Each structure stands twice: as C-alpha cells, then as structure tokens.
Amino acid sequence: MNLYEFIPPEQIFLDAALGDKDDVLRFTAQKLAELGIVKSQEGVYRALRQREDMMSTGIGDGIGIPHALTPEVEHVAILLIRPEKPVPFDALDRQPVCLVIPLIVPENETTL
C-alpha cells in the first residue's frame, strides 16, 4: 500500500509556513478550495473551526487530524500537511503537531 493511492501528490503539502492551529485550518480550507474539491472555502473553515472549538483534534505524538462534516464537499477529502515548524495545536499531550491530516466528510455521510 502506498500513500499516493489515498492522497494524490497535489494534496500533499510539505514545509508549509503555518504559525498556529487557525493557520492550519485556514490553509486546509484554502487548498481544498484551490483544488476545486470544496464548494466554499469559508464554509469548510467554519466547519473545521466549530469542530476544534468542541475539542482539539490534536491526538498526540505530534499528529493532528482536524475533521468536519460539511455540505461543502461531495466526497471525502483528505490532505497531508507537514508544517515547516511544529505548530501549537492544543493536543491531548500538549505537544505541538508535526503532521496534520485534515479530513473533510460530506454532511450526509454516516459510514466510511
């Protein structure tokens, strides 16, 4: 199994200049919009922000998996982001994230 089978190269971002969690969420929404994957950049950002406000998606060990259900996407969308420097993310282990895997899921999707 190869990573490119699940995440096409154009959805992988290495050494992204991101300063904090909000930068990560905005970057995610922007890139998904630029790729034509989502209907509304702002709608995706709001969905991600709302989910983060409930509880951080920083799962620990330097990994963040921001995710949201939204009508802004027709199919599951995933990115791989490696920030240039570790990003504070309010992770469960209180460590910054070095790898971010955003996941955007259609609002009506109940199973994957």
Catalytic annotation, residues: 67
Start-to-end CA span in the chain (Å): 19
In the sheet that holds 80-83, the strands lie side by side as 12-16, 80-83, 99-100, 63-64, 58-60
Q: What is the number of alpha carbons within 13 Å of residue 49 lying toward its C-beta?
A: 12
The answer to whether the beta carbons of residues 104 and 68 sit under 8 Å apart is: yes
